[in-house]
C-alpha cells in the first residue's frame, strides 16, 4: 500500500517536472529567438545551449531523486553524490563548448545554465504570491 502511494507520488512528481522543464525551455528558446533576431547571434546560441543543459540537468535530478527514498542512509548518500558529480560534469560541457567556439557567448551560456533554477524561483516566490492574493 505504501509502496503504491510512493510510486504514484514519484510518477506525479516526474510529470510535474517534465511540464515545468518544457515550459522553461520553451521560454528560453523564445527569448533566444528574440535575441537572435536582434542580431546578437552568439548570445542567443549561448543562452539556448545553457538552457538546454539546464533542462537536462533538471530532468536528471528529478529522475534520480526518487532513488534516494526508502533506502539506507549510506546508499542514499552515494546515490546523491554520484548524481551531483555526474550533473556537475554535464554542466561543464556547455561551458567548455562556449569557451572553445566563438559561435557561443560564454556569459550567455552560463546565464542559460541558471534558467531552470531562476525559473523555479520566480514561479514559486513571485507567481505563487500573485496567485495567493488573487
**39-79 residue pLDDT tens:** 999 999 999 999 999 999 888 887 777 766 667 788 878 88
CA dist 89 and 49 (Å) reads 15
Q: Is the pLDDT of residue 1 over 60?
A: no
Query: Mind listing the pLDDT tens digit for each residue in 109-133?
Result: 999 999 888 888 887 787 666 566 5
Give the pLDDT band (50/70/90) at residue 19: confident
CB atoms within 10 A of CB 10: 16
Joined grid coordinates for residue 9: 507520488
Closest Cα partner for 47 from 96, 100, 111?
A: 111
- What b/e sequence results for 74-86 when a residue is b if at least 16 CB atoms lie within 10 Å of its CB, and e otherwise? eeeeeeeeebeee
pLDDT in the model for residue 115:
87
At a CB cut-off of 8 Å and minimum separation 6, what does 14 contact?
62, 63, 66
Global confidence as pTM: 0.79
Amino acid at each position: 500500500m505504501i509502496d503504491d502511494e510512493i510510486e504514484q507520488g514519484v510518477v506525479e512528481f516526474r510529470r510535474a517536472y517534465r511540464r515545468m522543464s518544457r515550459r522553461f525551455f520553451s521560454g528560453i528558446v523564445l527569448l533566444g529567438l528574440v535575441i537572435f533576431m536582434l542580431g546578437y547571434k552568439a548570445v542567443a546560441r549561448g543562452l539556448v545551449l545553457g538552457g538546454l543543459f539546464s533542462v537536462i540537468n533538471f530532468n536528471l535530478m528529478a529522475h534520480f531523486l526518487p532513488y534516494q527514498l526508502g533506502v539506507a542512509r549510506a546508499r542514499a548518500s552515494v546515490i546523491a553524490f554520484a548524481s551531483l558529480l555526474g550533473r556537475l560534469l554535464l554542466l561543464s560541457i556547455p561551458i567548455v563548448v562556449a569557451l572553445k567556439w566563438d559561435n557561443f557567448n560564454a556569459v550567455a551560456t552560463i546565464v542559460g545554465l541558471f534558467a531552470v533554477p531562476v525559473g523555479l524561483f520566480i514561479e514559486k516566490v513571485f507567481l505563487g504570491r500573485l496567485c495567493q492574493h488573487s
